[in-house]
Structure 1
């Protein structure tokens, strides 16, 4: 009849795959958003002209801003507003244009309050449809503490060089000059004069000079150790202490499986810690025995220097030697423990990730 439904045609489409794909897309977006919002490193996107497009909360905090929105609103020109050294921005452009990316690119930048922050950037160039660079995206890590530690380490090394020069001039050179003058006096003394006291003075002066030269050689010896394996360098330092450490027995124990491939500037810093610890044993502890142990557990290199000397009490002030050791370990991202008890001895314990010592992590120490 007219107006009545005669036939119904149903058309259906299976959209299960579409809905599942949509759900997967949402999950991926939520995962990315969680990573972006909660990452410890700063994450950013910028235009080629140097304006932020996006930044995560860690990026904002790194520069002293309360939120990414405040950062994006405040910074309209990254080069002029953030870079301490404008030449580094030009270098960033040059490397990114040539290679399409930058890796471990260190930059000194300004914070909101006028203070500065050192960052290490990993970024890639973003290209438009025409194949031209339209911007950059990547991550930055705050390395301010590491840079401070490296600067402190440079100052410590310079202080060490000045100390060695001063001791050579004020002690060794003076003793040698005295011995020479005494010999000249002795040569002019008449026959029958008592020369014994003059000769004794010469012998004592020459002994002091030899000791001073030996200590200087000991302190400078590591300058040529950069390419030697860590084990060989520590063996050399222990052997040298056996020669000059009268009255103290020095022993080296290397645990089975200790990696033989460790070398380079990071390994040298570990050897310097061993060197300073053994120098303290010789000069201050009065120990009869000192043991250096090299081991590895769970991807960490362990170094222990233990002696049976006089130890120290809780009121003992830390000197330049221990300060230097702590700064070296800080640069390596490791941990240093120093324990001592009066009349019992001292234990110095160092742990550093193997990846740092083999070049897999941390900064370049070649210029420190």
Structure 2
């Protein structure tokens, strides 16, 4: 059963109960009302009879006077007065009165409200002579009929008012709960993947608040969807860039090496086919082939390190970073590069370690390609997590900085920095990139480490200036 139906039934039951209580109260008051009226009429009738008897005490034949008096009293409500002979017994008026009472009045109401018919007998004595008996009969027919009529009238009014109130409450309830329908349709559209859902802020404050939150949720989902599309495009662009770089390296470096090897092999074959091989030619060819093989091996090692550093899984993050720094220093002696690691990094999980390696790798790549720096430094250490890393106790801090030309005024992230930023954000980290006051660029990355309980301290180990 829906909430609207439940509330409607609850309100209907409450109003019906109120109507039943009102009717019960009216019926409960009817009995005391009839009994009070009976006691009052009984007392009045006794006074009338006693007064009449007192007025005819000096009369020789009081019967005609009494009859005339009592005939004039027949118009009294709820009472009948009869004069009975001495030898006549008190009549049984119960069945007669009951039949009169039930005329138009339900039996259950008579049983609840009407008192038992009562007949009082007063001797009609004048002096020493008794001329018969005076019967005073209480008849509540008129009173019960009036009470029943009033009860029907009040009950009808109460029923009409109850039905009117029920109709008004149900209409108000339907209008009040109308925003539920729009909320349901909005949620269904969100479930179907529509993010352009916006609800009108109407109804009670609770509905307006829920509608506002649903609109905010739809806006957030819309923004997240756009960010996901943008991220997917960036990932495709990064993949395409990596493929182009690999293809360029294979074409520009591996191609000449392979050509040199084939040329050397052809030279060796030609020299070996003669009767008197040229010893110097053979040595030069072997040297060329060896140099080409070494160059090809270096290229493959560099490409493998770009895809996944082999030293990472075997020797750990620190060894992989020192190897990375050594490889850059060997190729670019014009830049003085140093690596500082303040703590033991072996406690890092694989994802955090790989992300830290990629951050240093991409930062150094940008330094050697674009910064024109003379000095560069990379630092790794464990620090207390800042407020931006909610839920983390400690964090890995990676800082790479140089003294080069620094960031341009309108700097835009390239694919490498975009990939670095996405890696960091995936782990819930924070990345900052800024221009140093003394010149150059500074990149700082904080990676959360919620499960690190104890950070092993060590003396600051500074890599050789390579």
Q: TM-score, normalised by structure 2?
A: 0.40
Larger radius of gyration: 2
Q: TM-score, normalised by structure 1?
A: 0.48
Pick the structure with more strand per residue.
1
Pick the structure with more helix per residue.
2
